Amino acid sequence: MGQDERFEIRIIGYARTPWRRREDAPHQPSAASDAAGVLEILPELAPGLADLEGLGRIWIVALLDRSSGFALRVKPPRGGPKRGVFATRAPNRPSQIALSSVALEGLDVARGLVHVRGIDLLDGTPILDLKPYLPIVDAWPDAGHGWLEPYLEAGVEPKLRKPYRPERS
Amino acid sequence: MGQDERFEIRIIGYARTPWRRREDAPHQPSAASDAAGVLEILPELAPGLADLEGLGRIWIVALLDRSSGFALRVKPPRGGPKRGVFATRAPNRPSQIALSSVALEGLDVARGLVHVRGIDLLDGTPILDLKPYLPIVDAWPDAGHGWLEPYLEAGVEPKLRKPYRPERS
C-alpha cells in the first residue's frame, strides 16, 4: 500500500462517436440520448458479442484515455461545493474508468460492430468491457441520489464548460 | 489491432468480504444481498470518498484477479446453450472487470473505509473505481433481459458449481 499499485488491463475495442473534443462531450449519457455510436471490437474477440441481440441496453466500461490526471475533490457541473471524486461521475478519476449504459441499436457479430445510442464517450475511446444491462441486478430506481438530490429536484442542468458546437466532419 | 492491446491501470483499494473461494462466491450481487463487506481504499485516495454519505447504492468496478483466462462463449449458471461472453456477467472475461452495485451501509473517510452490503466479490479483490449509483442515469427497470428473459420468467435459479459451505474464520 502507500505507493501506486497498477495492473495491466486488456483493451477490447474502440468507440466511434460524434464527440471529438472534451468540451463537446455530454456530461452524462442521459444528455447524449440521441447520439449514435459504433463500438468496434477487436476481430479476435468479436465472437464474444453473440447473444447481445434482444437486450435493450448494454454497459460500456471504457478507459478515459484523454482524462488529465485527477483531483480528490471536484467541482460538479451542476454547481455547489467540491465533492469527493468517488461521489461523482467526473471523467478525471484515479483509474480513468467510465461506466455508461447505452441503448443497443444493432449488432454485427461477424464484423465486431455494436451500434448504440446515447453514448457520451469521445471518439476513439478504448473499451475495456461490454456487459448486458440486467434490470434484475442493475435497476434500483429508488436508490436515491445523495448529495445530487436537491439539484435534481430543483431541475438544475449541468453546465457545459463551453457552448456546444457540432463538429463538421 | 490484431494483437493484444493493454493499458496500465491504477488500483484504488481492496475488498474485504466473506467470500474466500471462487466456488463459494455468489453468481450475482442479488444472490449476495446479505453479505457485508468493507472496501479499504488506499490512504492517499481516501479523501476522494467524501460526499458518498447519503447515497443508497454505489458501483464497484473491480478487477477479478483470480479469474483464469476466458472463453468467447460461456455456459451460463442458469443453464441453456453457451452464450457470447459479452452477453453474460461471467467472471472469466477478457478484461477481468467486474461491475456490481452494492448498498452503502457506512463510511469512514478518514480511515478510507466503505461498508457495503450485497457484495459478490472475493476477499482481497482489487478495486479499480467507486462511483455513485445514480438512478437518473443507471436505473432502466424496463430495459429487458434479452436471452435471459425466459429463464427469469420460469424462475430458474443459478446453479452454483459446488454447494455453498460457509468459511469458518
CATH number at residue A58: 2.40.30.70
| Longest pairwise C-alpha distance within chain B | 48
* Cα distance between residue B96 and residue B69, in whole Å: 9
Residue B29: band (very low, low, confident or very high) from pLDDT cuts 50, 70, 90: low
**Closest CB from B10, B11, B85 relative to A48:** B85
Note the ipTM here: 0.90
Tell me the DSSP string of B105-163.
EEEETTTTEEEEES--SPTTPEEEEEEE--HHHH--TTS--GGGHHHHHTTPPPPPSS-
Quick check: B30 pLDDT over 80? Answer: no
pLDDT tens-place string over residues B85-126 = 999 999 999 999 999 999 999 999 999 999 999 998 999 999
Task: Kindly state whether residue B127 falls inside one of the protein's structural domains.
Answer: yes
Pairwise CB contact (< 8 Å): A42 & B148: no
Pairwise CB contact (< 8 Å): A43 & B1: yes
Quick check: B127 pLDDT over 70? Answer: yes
CA distance B74 to chain A (A): 9
Please tell me the predicted confidence (pLDDT) of residue B167: 44
Task: Kindly state whether residue A39 falls inside one of the protein's structural domains.
Answer: yes
Task: Kindly state whether residue B5 falls inside one of the protein's structural domains.
Answer: no
Residues spanned by the domain of B57? 13-64+95-134
Pairwise CB contact (< 8 Å): B2 & A42: yes
Please tell me the predicted confidence (pLDDT) of residue A5: 81
Please tell me the predicted confidence (pLDDT) of residue A68: 81
Angle among Cα B74, B78, B84 to the nearest 5 degrees reads 25
Quick check: B165 pLDDT over 50? Answer: no
Task: Kindly state whether residue A164 falls inside one of the protein's structural domains.
Answer: no
Task: Kindly state whether residue A2 falls inside one of the protein's structural domains.
Answer: no
Task: Kindly state whether residue B140 falls inside one of the protein's structural domains.
Answer: no
Please report residues of A whose CB lies closer than 8 A to that of B8.
6-9
Please tell me the predicted confidence (pLDDT) of residue A29: 53
Task: Kindly state whether residue B162 falls inside one of the protein's structural domains.
Answer: no
Q: Phi and psi (nearest 5°) for A90? A: -55, 140
CA distance A32 to chain B (A): 11
Q: 3-state DSSP call for residue A48?
A: helix
Query: What is the b/e burial string over A72-107, where b = at least 16 CB atoms within 10 angstroms of the residue's CB?
Result: bbbebbeeeeebbbbbbbbbebbbbbbbbbbbbeeb
* Cα distance between residue B111 and residue B41, in whole Å: 8
Mean pLDDT, consecutive 10-residue segments, chain A of 169 residues?
A: 72 95 68 84 98 97 92 94 97 94 97 96 96 96 96 88 45
Q: Quote the number of domains for chain B.
A: 1
Task: Kindly state whether residue B36 falls inside one of the protein's structural domains.
Answer: yes
**Closest CB from A8, A87, A137 relative to B28:** A137
Greater pLDDT, B108 or B159: B108
Please report residues of A whose CB lies closer than 8 A to that of B9.
6-9, 63, 95-97
* Cα distance between residue A140 and residue A146, in whole Å: 14
Average pLDDT over residues B133-145: 96
**Is the torsion defined by CA of B14, A5, A66, B70 positive or negative?**
negative
**Is the torsion defined by CA of B1, B4, B9, B15 positive or negative?**
positive
**Minimum CA–CA partner of A137 in chain B:** B30
All three cell numbers of B24, joined, read 463459494
Pairwise CB contact (< 8 Å): B148 & A142: no
Q: 3-state DSSP call for residue B103?
A: strand
Pairwise CB contact (< 8 Å): A8 & B5: no
Pairwise CB contact (< 8 Å): B144 & A135: yes
Please report residues of A whose CB lies closer than 8 A to that of B12.
94-95
Pairwise CB contact (< 8 Å): B8 & A12: no
Pairwise CB contact (< 8 Å): A5 & B141: no
